[in-house]
Copies of this chain bind each other. A is one copy, B any other.
Amino acid sequence: MAKSAFPPGPDLQAGDTVARCDSHSKVTGLARFAADEYPEGLLFAGVKRALVPHGLLRTLNSARTLQEPGVVAVLTARDISGSNRQGIIHKDQPVLIEDRVRHRGDALALVLAESRESLEKGLDLIEARIDPLPGVFDPEEALKEDAPKIHEKGNLLCHALIEKGSAEKALESCDVVVEDVFAVPFQDHAFLETQNGIAQMGADGGVTLTVSTQAPFRDRFEIAHALGLDVGAIRVVSPYLGGGFGGKDGATVQCFLALAALHSKGRPVKMWWSREESFLAGYKRHAARMRFRLGARKDGTFEALSAIFHFDAGPYAHLSVEVMELGMEHAAGPYRIPHTHLEGYCVYTNNPIGGAMRGFGITQATFGIERMVDLLAARLGIDPLELRLKNAVRRGDLNGAGVALGHSTGIIPCLEVLRSHPLWVSRHEWKAQAGLFTKRGTGIAAVSNAIGYGRGLPDAASAKVELKSDGRFLIYSGVPDMGQGNAAAYVQIAGEILCQTAGTIEIVQPDTALSLPSGSSSASRTVFTFGNAMIKVCESIRKRLLIWACQFLLVDDVATLVLLPGRIRHAPSGREIPLRLLAQFFSPQDRTFVESYVMPVARDAPDTGKEFPLGFPHTIFSYGAHLVRVEVDVLTGKANVLDYVAVTDGGRILNPQGFEQQIHGGVAQGLGYALMEEILLSEGRILNPDFTTYLIPSTMDVPDIHSDAIQTTEKEGPFGMKGVGEIGTLGPLPAVSAAVEDAVGHRLNQSPLTPPRILEVIRT
């Protein structure tokens, strides 16, 4: 691992497990989340939801609401001076409905009230007449000519294509071709802290929001565009998030809050969606249907792949196009496949809104490609792990999208760890020892996950660090920490380079008035991109402080000075100047340092991707090989996960514990996706909008997860690392599906693998 030239601080060394800087405050309850903010004099804001999947808003009567004691204001689309449209890339989502309702969560009116109770009453009293229109709830149905049109331009949001070689022709000449269809449902992010925030207008007319958000800097533009405000008049503060997982990447409460603040006469306004509202109106991982055909030679060499996706975008674009396209980019898995035809249809429906979620389309695609590899292995009688190894990409190969892999590429070593793993070696013996009414199976999956935004969007970050007057350092983070621990990583990077101790480095969470634009907390990019900027700024600080110390220690040669915890030492003489003394000679501004980093983009981008305005292709990937052992209760159909092994190539590891936590968390969330999490819909209505009916894994459902790492060195990564925030979610569904098939002898291509579904295949 790359080390700085100076002796490390005692407790923040890169590569060591370091206690998270936020652990104490979070464990003791001292950490403040947006939801904890109850400023004096606040008003509560809430929205009236349509609760109709498709229709035309005819009348909206708020007369009775306004008579309700405690109700302060009712705002409708007419109160909005801006575009009244939000959406990260495609701005097609009204903040408040003008005429057409497109899903049950659409907001009709915003109510401000003195208390939660009067808010509830006020919302109940709004009378909305909506003339229902026929709805459409399946993307393939929505593409039919006679389907109800949800938007004027029709229901096809995007048709995208990745084409390399001649897949159709190659499939015809393959020795063997396997084909299958997969379906995945909507998944909820199920974060602890639901969407919420507060907002207040200042004396200068500016609006300050404190929001649980993954993209505070982008939020300013969303709000400004929707409400017709000046971007500079909007300040967004993003404290620690109680979970995000992509569900807070984009406007949720933001535009409502800013609108409320414009009409609250200077009083602060709070909006906090209930769990049910979060289910109803929040973004979801997309439901999708995928048709795969994989062709190979007899010896197992992959020749051609065709994959056709139908992504259910719900009624508004949000990031649906980008999610589907990232899935398509990963649809060939971490394999060499000379001919690929990857085609995607992203379609509007009257279902909930599809959006970003950890894995971002790759989760869906990986289910398909990995199960296809298993199917091919079975057909050819080749061990599925050996088949993967045979076709796995090496550095220098072209990936399925035609991009040359010039960065660290560690899928083969990951698979090799599994090959010799006791759980793999003993799988047949272990399977044979299954007890009464149980069946055992082992499944594997090979996964890859792009790091960063890819081409078209600048993947940039600007890290800002202040030497405070007391000699401590203060990091101004530019990307939110939604729980993944990036704040701790930044502190560790600063500690390593500045040779300081944990107690002397503080970090503040993003605030558009203090931090610098550094993109969103997403795309497995935060420690990679902002971390690289941190390295640059800390190196700058170190150099600068040594130069400054020269001037006060009257030393002519910077190289004779060493930055040590709390002080700078002239090594030859032992003379020292404390950092707190040095700091006093400079203004706070002059002690504040900024450096920026931009992630490299593919310069030799192939012309394989069509209709990809943004994000294609990527060049840096993390890799992993997962193994799961499942025991199926043949009486109930319940698949119990007994063991899980995740071997990851995330480059060099900055903090082993932080790394492991990300893998554990990702696998746990992936197991929920594999086994139980499914938004049940009926005509666009969520049938299980709470945690008594929408199940997520509890600690009792998650096995001990064994995380192992292949430490490749990613030269572009900070200290050689790559992002691992998402990759853990990719393996569980295909691996569990394979393990269940291994156990019960039947394929299950519709996720999640709930007991009824398993029971059904067992009984057929």
* Residues of A participating in the B interface, judged by any CB pair closer than 8 Å: 231-232, 453-460, 462, 464, 513-514, 516-517, 519, 543-544, 547-548, 550-551, 554-558, 584-587, 589-590, 592-594, 596-598, 601, 603
Taking a contact as CB atoms under 8 Å apart, the answer to whether B232 and A585 are in contact is yes
As for how many copies of this chain the complex holds, the number is: 2
Cβ-defined contact, A551 with B517, below 8 A: yes
A464 touching B590, Cβ below 8 Å: yes
The list of the 6 closest CB pairs from A to B, nearest first, reads A458-B550, A547-B596, A556-B601, A589-B589, A458-B551, A460-B547
Chain B residues near A603 (CB-CB < 8 A): 557
Which listed residue, B453, B556, B601, touches A453 by the CB 8 Å rule? B556
B547 near A462 with CB under 8 A, answer yes
Q: Which residues of B contact A455 (CB under 8 A)?
A: 556
Nearest chain B CB to A642's CB is how many angstroms away? 44
Report the nearest B residue to A555, measured CB to CB.
B458
Q: By the criterion CB–CB under 8 Å, are A548 and B596 in contact?
A: yes
Q: Which residue in chain B gives the minimum CB-CB distance to A614?
A: B554
**Given contact pairs A547-B598, A596-B543, A586 touches B516 in the complex (Cβ within 8 A):** yes
With known contacts A554-B456, A556-B458, A598-B558, A590–B548 Cβ distance under 8 A = no
**Contact assessment for B460 and A551 in the assembled complex, using a CB-CB cutoff below 8 Å:** yes
Q: Say what secondary structure dominates the interface of chain A.
A: loop
Given contacts A457-B554, A517-B548, A551-B460, contact A589 B586 (CB under 8 A): no
Q: How far is the CA of A459 from the CA of B557 in the complex (A)?
A: 9
Could you write out 21 A-B pairs with CB less than 8 Å apart?
A: A232-B584, A232-B585, A454-B556, A456-B554, A457-B554, A458-B550, A458-B551, A460-B547, A460-B550, A462-B548, A462-B590, A464-B590, A514-B587, A516-B590, A519-B551, A543-B596, A544-B594, A547-B596, A547-B598, A590-B594, A593-B594
Q: How far is the CA of A584 from the CA of B234 in the complex (A)?
A: 12
Residues of B within 8 A of A550 (CB): 458, 460, 598
Contact present for A458 and B554 (CB under 8 Å): yes
The closest CB in chain B to the CB of A549 belongs to B458
**Which residues of B sit under 8 angstroms from A516, Cβ to Cβ?**
586, 590
Give the Cβ gap from A586 to chain B, nearest Cβ, in Å: 7
Q: Among the listed B556, B558, B596, B601, which residue makes an inter-chain contact with A544, where contact means beta carbons less than 8 Å apart?
A: B596
Point out the residues of chain B lying under 8 angstroms from A544, CB to CB. 462, 594, 596
What residue of chain B has the Cβ atom nearest to residue A221's Cβ?
Answer: B552
A519: nearest residue on chain B (CB-CB)?
B551
How many angstroms between the C-alpha atoms of A556 and B456 in the bound complex?
A: 5
Most B CB contacts (10 A, CB to CB) among A458, A517, A543, A558 go to A458
Task: Tell me the complex Cα distance, A332–B589, Å.
Answer: 47
Name the residue among A232, A514, A550, A596 with the largest chain B CB count within 10 angstroms. A596
CB-nearest residue of chain B relative to A218?
B551
Expressed in whole angstroms, the Cα–Cα distance for A556 and B455 within the complex equals 6
Chain B residues with Cβ below 8 Å from A584 are 231-232
Q: How far is the CA of A604 from the CA of B517 in the complex (A)?
A: 46
B596 and A458 contacting across the interface, CB-CB below 8 Å: no
- What chain B residues lie within 8 Å of A453 (beta carbons)? 556
User: Are A601 and B547 neighbours in the complex by a CB distance under 8 Å?
Assistant: no
Are A556's CB and B513's CB within 8 A?
Answer: no
Given contacts A453-B556, A464-B590, contact A231 B585 (CB under 8 A): yes
Contacts of A586 in B (CB 8 A): 516
Distance in Å: Cβ of A525 to nearest Cβ of chain B: 13
| Distance in angstroms between the alpha carbons of A460 and B545 in the assembled complex | 12
The interface centre, meaning the residue of A513, A547, A551, A585 with most chain B CB atoms within 10 A of its CB, is A551
- Note all chain B residues with C-beta closer than 8 A to A517: 548, 551, 585
* Chain B nearest CB, measured from A570 CB (Å): 11
* CA of A551 to CA of B455, assembled, Å: 13
Interface centre among A464, A519, A557, A597 (most CB of B within 10 A): A557
Neighbouring B residues of A594 by C-beta, 8 Å: 544, 590, 593
